Amino acid sequence: ESSSLIWGTGDFSLYVVFRYQSFGAFSLIAGKYDTVAPFPGPNLYANFFMPTDSTNIAARLDSTHYVQTSDGGYDDEEMRVVGMRRSGAHLELRVDGISIATDDGGLPDGGAIDVSAPDASFYIGARPTGAQLRGDVAEVVGVKGTLSDADVEALEAYLKAKYGL
Question: Which of 57, 49, 52, 53 is closest to 16 using CA atoms?
Answer: 57
- Residue 162 phi, psi (nearest 5): -60, -40
One-letter amino acid for residue 162 of the chain: K
Contact 45, 27 (CB under 8 A): yes
Q: Is it the case that residue 106 has pLDDT exceeding 70?
A: no
Looking at residue 53, its pLDDT comes to 78
Cα–Cα–Cα angle for 60, 155, 64, rounded to 5 degrees: 5
Mean pLDDT of 118-128: 89
Cα distance between residue 108 and residue 11, in whole Å: 14
Output the pLDDT for position 105: 67
Mean of per-residue pLDDT scores for the chain: 89
How confident is the model over 61-76, as pLDDT tens digits? 998 889 999 888 889 9
Residue 107 has pLDDT above 70, yes or no: no
Q: Are 58 and 42 in contact (CB under 8 A)?
A: no
